[in-house]
């Protein structure tokens, strides 16, 4: 085809004609010819350079239809040319004029898009665009700010094609487009944001390294994007940078949080991509630093023995990268835990466990920073929950993380026990609770408690306990209740994560502030296991008296995880007696555990009170440990800010959970008694079954204790509790109505039932062992009522209440205290066996003489009248248990005297009405009584 014959100079003149229709016809003729050339492939003879100026000038046509046609013709001109280098000198200046101006020249957004496509076509050609890089950047600099979203997306594709040309001029001048490009990261369209993320990733590879730092913060914000495709793109870009960025070693510290965030993303696709890229990054780092890492590669000891189950170990390169940056990452993440944005706090909390798993034993050198950061983060999160109405959510927060070499329950799978291995433990999805702020705070707490468990599993207990103990010593409920709760939760996480042989390792501390009380009431310099020191701290008077919801929930969490460790120790002892190797529950992998000799020895140290121990104090402290747990559980259910708190949702849930933990402690005591051949447990009823529970995490390893087992637990440890309360009275005087000791004493009497009459057989000598009258707890209970509640005093007889006197109680307070004592004495008669024992001459005479009759002395006033009524009610209850009542019709057939008949008639008239009046309130018991009461 003769190009000159069809397209000639006349057409070039017609392109500049004043008539728009003539210009349009000329453009149509050229388009038709170029289209035919593309079909036949015969465009060699076409004078591209001659027609380029005229066709480029047509882009400035005042008629929109002509401009649209001119764009299409120029597109055909570039596509049909094998070498478009002759077209660019005339085309690019026109494009800069149309698209690269501060003010929009082309009003039509569709034509702006089509005009911009010309740049895309040019870059797809094999042509040197080095002289025109500035023109490209000028156009793109403004197209990134174009209001039309399709123009933004196309601009991102063009800048990637231009960057991949690897032009030196682009390397020098690319800084001019970074700011306009990053502005699209917050565009409302997700596809625009995704295109921008991909463009940023490509541009930075071929740009100056200093520009990377400018883009890290905007990319980090995209990790919080609601669209998973955007987060996927960010992880892909960061992985590309860590693999191929020329200056990547300079930015490892700033890029690691981004790639590691993908490991804890909500989307499975993002997690899988991050895991694959992170693995490749670690392998490449190993290869590039093979000489430096040679010793670590050749002499790798493998994963720690107490490693989370279901977690695969990162490669050495990944661990080394985190190790080199941890000193800067951990303090930064700790600061982010206090950020004002909830998403930032949540992301920081989820990253800390990832870093700990990569650090492994190197976590030890960061223990102080972790304690401070985790404690502050937990305190802040708890304070936000405490201000809401969702305090029940504070219960059972520590996720039961499973570790290798640790026995697992058959029901209620712990965290990460099933499913494929991952780099990070998989926490179960929590159900929405309360407001959005509450749900976010709970998620932060769960992640920080996971971090605490991992830290406890990797750092020796003898290192973290002194640091945490000093923190607990500085936390007081009166000044900072949320801080106390946060550090108690932190302690629960550490104990839950530590191995049992670490917790039962010996720790010597001779400081006066760290002395444990022996069972005989004395004290000595402590040289015992770490677990004993921990429980001793928890059983202190200041912690037994906590009333804030957060502190009570955290203290209960500590007791729960400690009881879980007791169950683990008993499970190890029970299994080691027959075979050291045993099958775990219903594990589909038929996994077997080989319990180490250290774990078996530690379990024996914790439970066994036999003569295999040389030191009596070891046996004493083994008993003392379980006694402290018993006291803490009673105090948790007894001490409240006011009486109405127990009826709240939190109070009801805490009491229920306390009873369940008490049953688990009773199960440990039961199995220990059976293993040691205790004759008490040899007579255990065979048909006793525990009550069913419905807990979120059912992690008990032993069968829950029944009511009979709980009675035995009370029998064994109640006497020491009463001795502690009596020692407190001796030191500080009588109780007052709000005394912690009185609250614990009342709770114990309500739940003890007939255990008050059982003889304690704890194997430990006491001062009253040779006194038959003190074989049960009833005598010491009466003494506590007599002295602690001031029932042995005549009301108002104490002259110390005069102005300037030494008695701190007012008349009203003393009356309330004595009234509570009389009510407690009345409640003792609710139990059949206790009522029968109180009817004995010795106890009845003491109750009447020292407890009831002093309150019957007449005094003026309504307060004194109320006390007399309570005393008479108590008298009626005691007399009813000591005197058998007869029907009036029997008066003619018995041999009673007239006075006896009158007394019986009076009792018949008054005993039953009083019992009916007191029954609904006094006969309630917080624990199911054994049969026969």
DSSP output for 597-617: HHHHHHHHHHH--STT-S-HH
Tell me what pLDDT residue 613 has. Answer: 34
Q: Which residues of 203-217 are buried (b: 16+ CB within 10 A; e: fewer)?
A: bbbbbeeeebeebbe
Pick the more confident residue, 913 or 209. Answer: 209
Q: How far apart are CA 339 and CA 799, in angstroms?
A: 59
Listed residue (897, 870, 877) closest to 886, CA to CA: 897
Listed residue (558, 473, 471) closest to 513, CA to CA: 473
Positive or negative, the CA dihedral 212, 216, 217, 218 is positive
pLDDT cut 90: percent of the chain above it: 30
Give residue-wise pLDDT tens across range 752-761.
877 777 776 5
Region of poorest pLDDT, from 239-243, 464-468, 518-522, 557-561: 518-522
Q: Is the pLDDT of residue 125 over 60?
A: yes
Listed residue (349, 439, 443) closest to 390, CA to CA: 439
| Type and span of the H or E element at 767 | none
With 0-12 / 13-18 / 19 or more C-beta atoms within 10 angstroms meaning exposed / middle / buried, residue 648 is middle
Listed residue (482, 399, 414) closest to 447, CA to CA: 399
Domain boundaries, the chain: 356-388+395-420+428-435+447-705, 728-922
pLDDT tier at 348 (50, 70, 90 boundaries)?
A: very high
Q: Which strand ranges, in their side-by-side order, compose the sheet holding 515-517?
A: 506-509, 523-529, 515-517
Tell me what pLDDT residue 203 has. Answer: 94
Tell me what pLDDT residue 162 has. Answer: 92
Q: Is the pLDDT of residue 572 over 70?
A: yes
Tell me what pLDDT residue 158 has. Answer: 94
| Type and span of the H or E element at 529 | strand 523-529
pLDDT tier at 82 (50, 70, 90 boundaries)?
A: confident
Give residue-wise pLDDT tens across range 247-287.
899 999 999 999 999 999 989 999 999 999 999 999 999 99
Region of poorest pLDDT, from 151-155, 691-695, 844-848, 888-892: 888-892
Tell me what pLDDT residue 512 has. Answer: 38
With 0-12 / 13-18 / 19 or more C-beta atoms within 10 angstroms meaning exposed / middle / buried, residue 356 is buried
Q: Is the pLDDT of residue 608 over 60?
A: no
pLDDT cut 70: percent of the chain above it: 78
Tell me what pLDDT residue 415 has. Answer: 64
Give residue-wise pLDDT tens across range 398-453.
887 888 877 776 655 566 655 677 888 877 776 666 678 888 888 899 999 999 99
Positive or negative, the CA dihedral 768, 772, 775, 781 is negative
Q: Is the pLDDT of residue 768 over 50?
A: no
In the predicted model, what is the mean pLDDT of residues 201-225? 92
Three-class SS of residue 257? helix
Q: How far apart are CA 291 and CA 18, in angstroms?
A: 76
Three-class SS of residue 718? helix
Tell me what pLDDT residue 78 has. Answer: 86
The count of C-alpha atoms lying within 13 angstroms of the C-alpha of 666, restricted to the half-sphere facing its C-beta, is: 23
Q: Is the pLDDT of residue 356 over 80?
A: yes
Average pLDDT, the chain: 79
The count of C-alpha atoms lying within 13 angstroms of the C-alpha of 704, restricted to the half-sphere facing its C-beta, is: 18
In the predicted model, what is the mean pLDDT of residues 188-216? 93
Tell me what pLDDT residue 764 has. Answer: 39
In the predicted model, what is the mean pLDDT of residues 150-174? 92
DSSP secondary structure code for residue 516 in this structure: E
Q: How far apart are CA 677 and CA 671, in angstroms?
A: 10
* DSSP-derived pairing of the beta strands 523-529 and 515-517: antiparallel
pLDDT tier at 189 (50, 70, 90 boundaries)?
A: very high
Three-class SS of residue 203? helix
Tell me what pLDDT residue 735 has. Answer: 82
In the predicted model, what is the mean pLDDT of residues 648-654? 87
* Backbone conformation region of residue 412, classed left if phi is above 0, alpha if psi is from -120 to 50, else beta: left
Q: Is the pLDDT of residue 352 over 90?
A: yes
Tell me what pLDDT residue 576 has. Answer: 62
Cα dihedral 506, 508, 513, 517, rounded to 10, equals 50
Q: Is the pLDDT of residue 573 over 80?
A: no
pLDDT tier at 795 (50, 70, 90 boundaries)?
A: low
pLDDT tier at 710 (50, 70, 90 boundaries)?
A: confident
Tokens read off for 199: 């463009």
Tell me what pLDDT residue 809 has. Answer: 52
Tell me what pLDDT residue 286 has. Answer: 92
Tell me what pLDDT residue 917 has. Answer: 55
Q: How far apart are CA 665 and CA 634, in angstroms?
A: 12
Instruction: Say if residues 474 and 486 touch (Cβ distance below 8 Å).
Output: no
Q: Is the pLDDT of residue 387 over 80?
A: no
């Amino acid at each position: 085809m003769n190009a000159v014959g069809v397209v000639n100079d006349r057409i070039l003149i017609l392109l500049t004609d004043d008539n728009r229709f003539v210009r349009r016809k000329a453009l149509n003729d050229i388009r038709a010819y170029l289209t035919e050339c593309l079909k036949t492939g015969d465009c060699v003879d076409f004078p591209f350079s001659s027609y380029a100026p005229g066709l480029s000038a047509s882009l400035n046509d005042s008629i929109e239809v002509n401009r649209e046609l001119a764009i299409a013709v120029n597109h055909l001109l570039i596509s049909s040319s094998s070498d478009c280098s002759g077209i660019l000198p005339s085309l690019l200046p026109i494009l800069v004029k149309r698209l690269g101006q501060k003010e929009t020249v082309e009003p039509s957004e569709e034509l702006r898009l089509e005009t911009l496509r010309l740049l895309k076509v040019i870059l797809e050609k094999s042509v040197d665009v080095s002289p025109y890089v500035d023109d490209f950047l000028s156009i793109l600099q403004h197209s990134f700010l174009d209001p039309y979203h399709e123009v933004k997306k196309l601009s991102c594709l063009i800048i990637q094609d231009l960057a991949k040309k690897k032009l030196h001029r682009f390397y020098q001048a690319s800084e001019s487009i970074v700011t306009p490009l990053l502005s699209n990261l917050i565009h409302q369209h997700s596809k625009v944001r995704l295109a921008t993320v991909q463009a940023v990733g490509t541009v930075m590879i071929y740009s100056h390294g200093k520009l990377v730092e400018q883009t890290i913060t905007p990319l980090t914000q995209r990790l919080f994007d609601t669209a998973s495709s955007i987060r996927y793109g960010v992880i892909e870009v960061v992985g590309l940078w860590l693999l191929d960025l020329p200056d990547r070693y300079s930015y490892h510290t700033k890029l690691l949080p981004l790639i590691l965030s993908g490991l804890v993303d909500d989307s499975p696709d993002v997690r899988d991509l991050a895991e694959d890229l992170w693995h490749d990054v670690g392998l490449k780092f190993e290869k590039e630093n093979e000489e430096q890492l040679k010793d670590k590669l050749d002499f790798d000891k493998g994963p720690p023995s107490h490693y989370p189950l279901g977690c695969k170990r990162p490669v050495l390169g990944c661990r080394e990268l985190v190790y080199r940056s941890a000193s800067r990452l951990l303090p930064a993440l700790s600061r982010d835990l206090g950020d004002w944005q909830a998403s930032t706090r949540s992301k920081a909390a989820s990253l800390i466990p990832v870093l700990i798993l990569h650090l492994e034993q190197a976590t030890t050198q960061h223990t102080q920073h972790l304690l401070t950061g985790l404690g502050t983060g937990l305190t802040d999160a708890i304070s936000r929950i405490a201000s809401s109405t969702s305090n029940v959510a504070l219960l059972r927060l520590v996720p039961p993380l499973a570790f290798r070499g640790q026995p697992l329950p058959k029901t209620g799978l712990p965290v990460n026990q099933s499913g494929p291995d991952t780099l990070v433990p998989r926490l179960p999805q929590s159900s929405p609770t309360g407001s959005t702020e509450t749900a976010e705070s709970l998620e932060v707490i769960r992640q920080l408690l996971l971090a605490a468990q991992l830290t406890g599993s990797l750092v020796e207990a003898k290192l973290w306990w002194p640091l945490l103990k000093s923190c607990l010593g500085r936390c007081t409920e009166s000044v900072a209740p949320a801080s106390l709760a946060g550090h108690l939760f932190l302690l629960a996480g550490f104990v839950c994560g530590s191995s049992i042989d670490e917790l039962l390792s010996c720790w010597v501390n001779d400081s006066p502030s760290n002395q444990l009380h022996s069972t005989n009431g004395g004290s000595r310099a402590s040289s015992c296991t770490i677990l004993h020191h921990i429980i001793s701290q928890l059983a202190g008077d200041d912690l037994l008296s906590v009333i804030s919801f957060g502190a009570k929930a955290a203290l209960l969490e500590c007791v729960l995880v400690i009881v879980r460790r007791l169950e683990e120790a008993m499970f190890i002892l029970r299994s080691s007696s027959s075979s050291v190797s045993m099958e775990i529950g219903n594990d589909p992998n038929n996994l077997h555990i080989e319990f180490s000799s250290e774990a078996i020895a530690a379990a024996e140290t914790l439970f066994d009170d036999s003569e295999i121990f040389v030191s009596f104090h070891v046996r004493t402290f083994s008993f003392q440990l379980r006694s402290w747990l018993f006291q803490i559980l009673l105090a948790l259910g007894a001490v409240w800010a006011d009486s109405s708190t127990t009826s709240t949702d939190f109070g009801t849930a805490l009491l229920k959970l306390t009873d369940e933990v008490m049953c688990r402690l009773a199960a440990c005591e039961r199995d220990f008694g059976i293993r040691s051949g205790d004759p008490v447990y040899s007579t255990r009823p065979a048909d006793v079954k525990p009550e069913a529970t419905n807990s979120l995490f059912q992690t008990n390893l032993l069968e829950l204790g029944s009511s009979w087992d709980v009675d035995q637990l009370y029998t064994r440890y109640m006497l020491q509790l009463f001795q502690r309360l009596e020692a407190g009275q001796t030191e500080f005087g009588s109780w007052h109505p709000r005394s912690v000791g009185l609250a614990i004493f009342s709770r114990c009497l309500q739940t003890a039932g007939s255990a008050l009459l059982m003889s304690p057989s704890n194997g430990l000598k006491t001062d009253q062992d040779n006194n038959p009258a003190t074989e049960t707890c009833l005598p010491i209970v009466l003494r506590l009522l007599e002295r602690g509640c001031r029932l042995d005093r005549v009301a108002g007889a104490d002259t110390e209440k005069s102005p300037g006197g030494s008695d701190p109680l007012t008349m009203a307070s003393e009356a309330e205290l004595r009234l509570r004592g009389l009510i407690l004495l009345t409640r003792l008669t609710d139990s059949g066996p206790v009522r029968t024992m109180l009817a004995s001459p010795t106890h009845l005479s003491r109750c009447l003489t020292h407890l009831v009759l002093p309150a019957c002395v007449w005094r003026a006033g309504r307060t004194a009248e109320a006390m007399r009524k309570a005393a008479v009610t108590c008298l009626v209850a005691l007399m009813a248990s000591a005197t058998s009542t007869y029907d009036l019709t029997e008066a003619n057939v018995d041999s009673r005297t007239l006075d006896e008949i009158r007394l019986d008639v009076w009792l018949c008239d008054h005993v039953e009405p009083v019992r009916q009046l007191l029954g609904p309130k006094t006969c309630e018991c917080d624990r199911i009584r054994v049969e026969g009461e």
